[in-house]
Amino acid sequence: MRVLVTGASGMLGGGVARALAARGDDVTVLQRRPSGLAETAGVREVLGDVVDAEAVARAMAGQDAVVHLAAKVNVMGRWEDYVRVNVVGTRTMLDAARRHAVPRFVHTSSPSVAHAGASLVGEGAGPTDPEQARGNYARSKALSERIALAADARNVRDGIGPAVTVIRPHLVWGPGDTQLVARVIRRAQAGRLPVIGSGAALVDTTYVDNAVDAFVAALDRCEAVRGESFVVTNGEPRPVSEIFAAWARAGGADPSPTRIPTRLAYAAGGVVDAVTAVRERIGTVDEADPPLTRFLVEQLTTAHWFDQRRTREALGWTPRVTLDEGFERLAAAR
């Protein structure tokens, strides 16, 4: 199968591209900077942006399937930048897949598209809610998921265009992770590992190899499960303080946390959000992720764990690496 993977310079996208190439698929990757996969995995590399219709067309021609992982994922940033990559980029990819008669399209979303601030306890893939989703990233991903599912409905109606399946991986981590693990380790090394409130909120995470397997399974079953969204996790909810401590230990850092009262953290996050809103209006947003925002406080103090029964049944997938095995692999890779 000829497969186009976007966002392959990231940990998850690179893992998906390598897994597909290893099983014999003809893989093309599209991203703005070299991924190194052409040399290490033997894939074809196209440099370009997902909003560049010409670059997308070059990468899309002749493909049998697409796994679209490219996204702007920072906590901070201008709304226009999230829209450009996550919304316009998704539409550009879907339109090109339809024009080039690509049969399968796996779109990457996030459980945050259905999170309005309250705990998610044993939930499935709830409906997207761009109005209530917290933060620019979640709102833009909610919009992009709606676009993807609307495209699938249009393709069914017209009898042309790819079958679209949506995967919402939750907190993917593993060796080489710069989004979650590296930040936790850096803060632990500096003696500033934050635990807000009790740290007892149960949170699902996903070891990267399991997430990769889920994307490959979704690609293989895309036409059978088209038009659906699936949350993917390890299915092992743990207290957030326990997860942070395990990551810190794996990185050789002291896991002793700095405990911050929830009210104080929420107030501090509100100040950061207010300053960011002003800076966004005048075009001077600092995209370096701050220590706290209200979104981060909500994420660290509310439960987020999910019912995986439909995901596992529909995709024929189960996690093969437990969290404890993942922590061991993380430490071994240090």
Q: How far apart are alpha carbons 307 and 233 in whole angstroms?
A: 9
Q: Is residue 36 part of a domain?
A: yes
Q: How many CA atoms lie within 13 A of 112 on its CB side?
A: 23
| pLDDT computed for residue 4 by the predictor | 98
* Residue 217 main-chain phi, psi, to 5 deg: -65, -40
DSSP three-state, residue 216: helix
Which pLDDT band, with edges at 50, 70 and 90, does 287 fall under?
Answer: low
Split into its structural domains, the chain has a count of 1
Q: Is residue 17 part of a domain?
A: yes
Whether 137 is a known active-site residue: answer yes
Question: In terms of residue numbers, what domain contains 114?
Answer: 2-172+205-233+306-322
| More confident call, 325 vs 188 | 325
Which CATH number goes with the domain that contains 225? 3.40.50.720
Q: How far apart are alpha carbons 145 and 108 in whole angstroms?
A: 8
Alpha helix positions (H), 83-129: 89-99
Catalytic residue among 82, 137, 207, 266: 137
Q: What is the pLDDT of residues 51-70, one digit of tens each?
A: 999 999 999 999 999 999 99
Q: Is residue 83 part of a domain?
A: yes
Mean pLDDT of 182-204: 83
The two structure tokens encoding residue 281: 């209006």
Q: Is residue 291 part of a domain?
A: no
Q: What is the pLDDT of residues 108-148, one digit of tens each?
A: 999 988 776 677 778 888 888 888 777 888 899 999 999 99
Q: Is the pLDDT of residue 231 over 90?
A: yes
Q: Is residue 279 part of a domain?
A: no
DSSP three-state, residue 172: strand
Q: How far apart are alpha carbons 195 and 137 in whole angstroms?
A: 23
Q: Is residue 45 part of a domain?
A: yes
